[in-house]
Chains A and B, each alone.
Chain A
């Protein structure tokens, strides 16, 4: 008699598997796109030390995206590189908040601050997912994301308390970012199935409320506006911009130069 029974693979019906794939794609694309936007600071960040820090954080996000695309590839029996680089711009599923070019430093800081807190809330929940590979990866990612959160919180405080142009620029950046910040929690088509299967422990709407509870007092403390409490637009993960079309042409350039090449 065997001492240990082999662990059966998670058996999911097709619609649930498709919903899981949609969830993984949204997570991966968020990390991938924010990572590429912020890599646009390499060489031109406000100071040398920050240049290294921002670039390194951007690389961290690409690393997370890679792990998430690999998880997705396991679910869809696809190739992670193909998913990452082989899609048309319109097929990416990142949140609309991440549709815009890096902007000025204040825009990057404001967007990062809102995104990092959303990501933290999301990862906390995903660490308890019934899809064990995802729970494991979320736990691992949280260990690295805690530093990102510290770093962008720190910059928010500095710009908010800063002299000269810092505060007006931060206010302008927040005015642009806040209405779209909730799109990180855009409901997914197959969300009910994910909740039933325990792949998601909380609805994205619940997570959005949790995120609001967290960022609202932080912004109030700095005397900055409150996030838009309206539900995210249903197209919060499908609407694309010219900015993103440009970024897509940039990050797919090498992959397109020789299709099928081994990396």
Chain B
């Protein structure tokens, strides 16, 4: 059992939904325990935690900024160079 974090919810029912979204929507959980004060509630329905759909679009990993940064740096570098050669001309 790993402590995942906290949610604010007016009651146990919404706390459960929010816990599922915060700690399960990316299929990172097999089971969640939501503990308000004296009660322990359990969510173990695999349909709620491991839905059958491809969820890759929920992850930011598909967006590769590295190449864009490199291109921008190269562009900035060549512009600076062009500017410098103009000054010396």
Q: Which residues of A contact B (CB under 8 A)?
A: 47-50, 52-53, 56, 59-60, 62-64, 67, 140, 143-144, 146-147, 150-151, 154
Contact A52-B18, Cβ < 8 Å, known A47-B8, A59-B58? yes
Which residues of A have CB within 8 Å of B17?
A: 53, 150-151, 154
Could you show 21 A-B contacts with beta carbons less than 8 Å apart? Answer: A48-B8, A49-B7, A49-B14, A49-B21, A50-B18, A52-B22, A52-B25, A53-B18, A59-B58, A62-B57, A63-B53, A63-B54, A63-B55, A63-B57, A64-B53, A143-B47, A144-B47, A144-B51, A144-B53, A147-B20, A154-B14
The reply to whether B53 and A67 contact each other, CB–CB distance below 8 Å, is yes
Q: Out of A47, A53, A147, name the residue touching B47 (CB < 8 Å).
A: A147
Contact A154-B13, Cβ < 8 Å, known A49-B7, A56-B21? yes
Name which of A48, A49, A52, A144 has the most chain B CB atoms within 10 A of its CB: A49
Asked whether B60 is an interface residue with its Cβ less than 8 Å from the other chain, the reply is no
Pick the 6 closest A-B CB pairs, nearest first. A49-B18, A143-B47, A53-B21, A144-B51, A52-B21, A140-B52
Which residues of A have CB within 8 Å of B18?
A: 49-50, 52-53
Looking at chain B's contact residues, is the secondary structure mostly helix, strand, loop, or mixed? helix
Q: In the assembly, what is the distance between CA of A64 and CA of B51, in Å?
A: 12
Within B34-89, the residues touching A (CB, 8 Å) are: 47-48, 51-55, 57-58
The reply to whether B53 and A140 contact each other, CB–CB distance below 8 Å, is yes
Which residues of A have CB within 8 Å of B57?
A: 59, 62-63
Which residues of A have CB within 8 Å of B48?
A: 147
Which residues of B have CB within 8 Å of A63?
A: 53-55, 57
Which residues of A have CB within 8 Å of B52?
A: 140, 143-144
